[in-house]
Structure 1
Amino acid sequence: MNEREILTNYVYKMVASLMQNGVEDVVISPGSRSTPLAYAFASTKNISIYRQVDERSAAYFALGIAKAKAKPVVLLCTSGTAAANYYPAIVEAKYARVPLIVITADRPHELREVGAPQAINQISLYGERVKWSAEFPIPDDAPMTLPYVERHIARGVSIATTAPFGPVHFNVPFREPLLIDFQEELPKQTFRNSLVGQIAPSQQAKELLTAVINETQRGFIIVGELALGTDLQQMWAFIRKLKWPVLVESLSNLRTNVPEDCGQYIVSTYDALLKSSIFKQQVAADTVIRFGAQPVSKFLTNFLTETLPTNYIVIDEDPMFRDSAAVSTHFIHTAIGEWISELSIENTVFSEEYLLKWRTSEELAAKHIQSYQEIEQDEGAVVRFLIENLPDNSDLFVSSSMPIRDIDTFLLPTKKDIQVFANRGANGIDGVMSTAIGFSEARKEREMYLLIGDLAFLHDVNALIATRYQPCKLNIIVFNNDGGGIFSYLAQSTVKEYYEDLFGTPTALSFADVAQMYEMEYMGIEDFKEVNKIMEPQKNPLRLIEIFTDRQQNVASHRKLWQRIQQELEQ
């Protein structure tokens, strides 16, 4: 067997193994050293290929697809700094628990650390930011090479899709020549299937949880962003059975599609309510049960650290459970499943007055939020308008910093089919647009909107390169307040020296020319009275809506809202 045949068999074995283990999508950035695998993927039927020349953007694009599908997605790049550019998205995938299969092509061993071009040390390149890393052998005709490749791919995909989900890394060296013979049929697999188990609670854990619930007089549930693929119907069944207040973050997607018989338990305005010291004293709890990640709200975290519930139970699929405030008293290692609706809950001591306090306070705050856009004309008012007018069957991807906080403030419970997503693993503003574009590619049957600030847009403007290689449909709504709006709410804003230089960081840029460069429909809005244009029918699959706002006005308007709610709470 000659070298070309050996290389051909090797790369098609990789492709066959990936598909055998559930991979449906591959994002490729062009490069020479990755040529054999790129050819193999491109010539294989029944696998979707996406292209993005900017590797940092490509990695976030893949993350968006994986996030939308809750399935592993392959990333492929050449050697050198191309691989290093994947790093930010891999960090996000690690902490957001998203399954990525990162394949970096590499120089052969004899060209490493000897001054060869485009060669860096890629072994364990991503360190602890991946769940597992493997160095693949040079393609050869040794009897154990292809079985090794086949089973290592099965291991890698299993690791990536075992709770908690996360990225894995395969470093694959190739010698020149890099050409292969195209094949119509993939090789047969000797390893047939890898079945991943489900995490269920022990009997002891269920008994503990049941006992605590049945003895609780004052308690509430917190639901943050949940693991990919979580069956929300199981959560609704538990809420229906427990009948406690449920503080739901927007990213939990329990504020939308709310069942009729569960609406009375949902609390969405907790961030505004917990700004009141009097209210915090009134709702201090004996027991708190948290599912998913810790919510965005700093005031909720402060409330927990100040009141220290007797029982704070964290339910998580990762033994490294998340508890940044160090207030947990119990941890249950499990995924959400049917077990939560099968608990023997017979709580006869729970305080109806406690539930009523949360319910009436939620209604009070919601009244002010619903009327906000009639009083104020700022980013919050636009967010409220957007939420009220988004059509059913819509996805809203939200940037970090102020956009996600505004969604958390202004998204009230609704029966509409709207789902909210964000990159909150590492809470960065880089790669947001790329993730949203990838996400929209995986959910083409739904309307897709992206809400983002001007700095986050600039961070990831290369994301739009992907739209030149595959059709994309997306509404991008940019709040252009000429800088970092979130810092205006922080202590740094009280120190006038250097504030604008170091934190405000105005750029004096607008984005009409970006829209023109990528042949996007563009709309600029400078007057709040024109905000209804957001919901006009798209003339182009890609639309950029730039809304010009004022940072100081935003701060003043938001604080007025919180003051109005607090004053009425404390009357």
Structure 2
Amino acid sequence: MNEREILTNYVYKMVASLMQNGVEDVVISPGSRSTPLAYAFASTKNMSIYRQVDERSAAYFALGIAKAKANPVVLLCTSGTAAANYYPAIVEAKYARVPLIVITADRPHELREVGAPQAINQISLYGERVKWSAEFPIPDEGKMTLPYIERHIARGVSIATTAPFGPVHFNVPFREPLLIDFQEELPKQTFQNSFVGRIAPSEQAEDILTSIINQTKRGFIIVGELALGIDLEQVWAFIRKLKWPVLVESLSNLRTNVPTDCRQYIVSTYDALLRSTIFKQQVVADTVIRFGAQPVSKFLTNFLMETLPTNYIVVDEDPMFRDSTAVSTHFIHATIGEWISRINIDNTVFSEEYLRHWRQSEDLAVKHICSYLEFEQDEGAAVRYLIENLPDKSDLFVSSSMPIRDIDTFLLPTTKDIQVFANRGANGIDGVVSTAIGFSEARKDREMYLLIGDLAFLHDVNALIATRYQHCKINIIVFNNDGGGIFSYLAQSTVKEYYEDLFGTPTALTFSDVAKMYEMEYVGIQEFNEIEKIMEPKNNPLRLIEIFTDRQQNVASHRKLWQHIHEELEQ
């Protein structure tokens, strides 16, 4: 075979192996060295191709698709700093447990570290931020080359989709020339399938959990953001069976689509409630069981660290279980599955009075939050209005910092079909717009709303380039308070010197021209009495809604709400 035939067989073998192992989507950024693979992907039927010229945004775009589908997505770029621009999204994928298959094209070995253009050391480029990395061989006629490709791709996809999910990296060197012969049929595979097992607790772990539950008089469940692909019906079945208070973070998606018979157990306002010293003394627990990540609430975290439950059981699919509080007493290595239905809860001594106290306090806080719109005109009121008016089958993607905290405060239990998502692996504000657009591309049957602050929007405004290559649809709601709003709630705000320069960081920028650049429908809301514009019928699948707010007013209004709840709790 000539060089072109060898290269053609090599790249189509890669594509065939990826498809064989369940990969359906690839996000490509243009570049020369990745040409052979880009051609192979683009010419393959039944592979969804997305384009984004900005590699940093492309990586978050792929993250959004993978997060929405709970399925691995390929990222492809050329050599050099293009690959380095993937790094922030790979960090997020690692800590958010999202499966990505990162493919970086590379110069051949003889062009590395000798001053050749667009050549950097890409071996193990992402270090421990990926679950596994592999250097692929130069395309050749070696007997073991294509079998190596098949099996390494099967290994990589299996590793990416074995709990906990995460990114893997393939570095693939190509020599010039880089052109291939297009093929209509993919090569046959000799490796057929890779079956990933499920993680369930041991019989001993189930027995200990059962014993602790049945001996608990005062306890509650915490449900944070859950692993991708979890069947929430199994969680609801466990809640019905246990009948304990359940502190559900907004990202758990247990505050929405709430079954009627489970509503009495759901506590959504725990962050506000646990600001009260008296309330905390009244709800000290013997046992806490946590599923998923630790919720964003600082007051919940502090409560656990202050009260030190006799039993704090963390259920996690990663043996490196998450416990930033250093309070856990038991760890169960498992994914949520059928095993939780086997927990025998027959002889429980649980206090109904304890559940009743949580229920009454939740109702009190919900009353104040529901009336918030009547008295306040800040970002919190806008969030409450948005939540109340979101249509069924809506996805709400939320930026870090204040937006996620406002959702956690103002999203109350509802039977509406709304789902909430965020990038909370590393808790950064970068890549949020890209992730939301990618997410919406994978769920076109649902309406996507993105809630974000002005600085986070500026941080990822290049994400909108993707809308020039795909038929995207998204409603972006930007709270423009001219700076970093969350710092107004932190200790830095008490030091006036340098505060605006270092933390407030006002830019005096508005975004109507950004909307014009990308041919988006633009809605500007200057006064709160115009808030209904958020839900007006739109004339464009791309909509940018800019709501102008005041940082100091936001702080005052939020603190007033917490104070009202606090005062009534302590009467």
TM-score, normalised with respect to structure 2: 1.00
> In the aligned structure 1, how far is the partner of 2:347 from the partner of 2:224?
24
Corresponding residue of 1:376: 376
Q: Secondary structure of 1:89's partner? A: helix
Q: For residues 232 and 566 of structure 2, what CA distance do their matches in structure 1 show?
A: 32
Residue matched to 1:503:
503
- The one-letter code sitting in structure 2 at the alignment partner of 1:130 is V
User: Residues 137-156 of structure 1 correspond to what in structure 2 (within 5 A)?
Assistant: 137-156=137-156
User: C-alpha distance in 2, partners of 1:347/1:495?
Assistant: 55
Q: Where do 5+ consecutive residues of structure 1 fail to align?
A: none
Q: Counterpart amino acid of 1:455?
A: L
Could you tell me how far 1:264 is from its partner in structure 2? 0.0
What is the aligned partner in structure 1 of residue 187 from structure 2?
187
1:209 Cα deviation from its structure 2 partner: 0.3
Deviations 1:177-216 (A, max 9, x none): 0000000000000000001000011000100000000000
- After superposition, residues 456-471 of structure 1 pair within 5 angstroms as 456-471=456-471
Aligned counterparts of 2:463 and 2:348: Cα–Cα separation in 1: 55
1:236 alignment partner in structure 2: 236
How far the C-alpha of 1:154 sits from its partner, in A, is 0.1
Which residue number corresponds to residue 523 of structure 1? 523
CA distance in 2, matches of 1:272, 1:508: 33
Residue of structure 2 in register with 1:389 after alignment: 389
After superposition, residues 489-568 of structure 1 pair within 5 angstroms as 489-568=489-568
Distance 1:371 1:418 in 2: 21
TM-superposed CA distance for 1:342, in Å, is 1.9
CA contact under 8 A between 1:213 and 1:347: conserved in structure 2? no
Q: Which residue of 2 aligns with 1:61?
A: 61
**Residue in structure 2 matched with residue 36 of structure 1 by the alignment:** 36
Counterpart CA distance in 2 for 1:508 and 1:491 is 24
DSSP 3-state at the match of 1:463: helix
Give me the whole-angstrom Cα distance separating, in 1, the residues matched to 2:216 and 2:243. Answer: 12
Residue in structure 2 matched with residue 341 of structure 1 by the alignment: 341
8 Å Cα contact 2:522-2:543 kept in structure 1: yes
| Equivalent residue, structure 2, for 1:22 | 22
Which residues in structure 2 correspond to 1:311-350 (within 5 Å)?
Answer: 311-350=311-350
| 1:126-149 per-position Cα deviation (integer Å, ceiling 9, x unaligned) | 000000000000000000000000
Match of 2:181, SS state, is coil
Superposition deviation, residue 347 in structure 1: 3.9
2:213–2:348: 8 Å Cα contact kept in structure 1?
no
The Cα of 1:281 is off from its aligned counterpart by 0.4
| Rounded Cα–Cα distance in structure 2 between residues aligned with 1:422 and 1:527 | 28
Post-superposition offset of 1:536: 0.7
Residue equivalent to 1:226:
226
Aligned partner of 2:275 in structure 1 is 275
Give the equivalent residue in structure 1 for 2:437: 437
Paired residue total: 571
Correspondences of 1:239-278 after superposition (within 5 Å): 239-278=239-278
Aligned partner of 2:362 in structure 1 is 362
**What SS does the aligned partner of 2:46 have?**
coil
Q: In 2, Cα distance between the equivalents of 1:339 and 1:348? A: 19
Alpha-carbon distance in structure 2 between the residues aligned to 1:309 and 1:354: 15
Q: Check the 8 A contact 1:216/1:347 in 2, yes or no.
A: no
User: Is residue 200 of structure 2 the alignment partner of residue 200 of structure 1?
Assistant: yes
Once residues 395 and 229 of structure 1 are traced to their aligned partners in structure 2, the CA distance between those partners, rounded to angstroms, is: 16
What is the RMSD of the two structures over their aligned residues, measured on CA atoms? 0.4
Q: Which amino acid aligns with 1:271?
A: D
Which consecutive segments of 4 or more residues in structure 1 shift more than 6 A?
none
State the partner residue of 2:80. 80
Partner of residue 452, structure 2: 452
| Residue-by-residue CA offset, 1:75-95 (whole Å, 9 max, x unaligned) | 000000000000000000000
Alignment of 1:97-176 (within 5 A): 97-176=97-176
Output the amino acid matched with 2:44: T
* Aligned-partner Cα distance in 2 for 1:116–1:324: 45
| Cα distance, 1:338 vs structure 2 | 1.1
Q: Which amino acid aligns with 1:209?
A: L
Q: Distance in 2 between matches of 1:420 and 1:77?
A: 30
Letter in 1 for 2:51: R
- Quote how far apart the aligned CAs of 1:348 are: 3.3
Aligned mates of 2:477, 2:126 — CA distance in 1: 33
| Aligned equivalents of 1:363, 1:342: Cα separation in 2 | 32
Secondary structure of the residue that 2:433 maps to in structure 1?
helix
Residues 162 and 196 in structure 1, CA contact (< 8 A), matched pair in contact too: yes
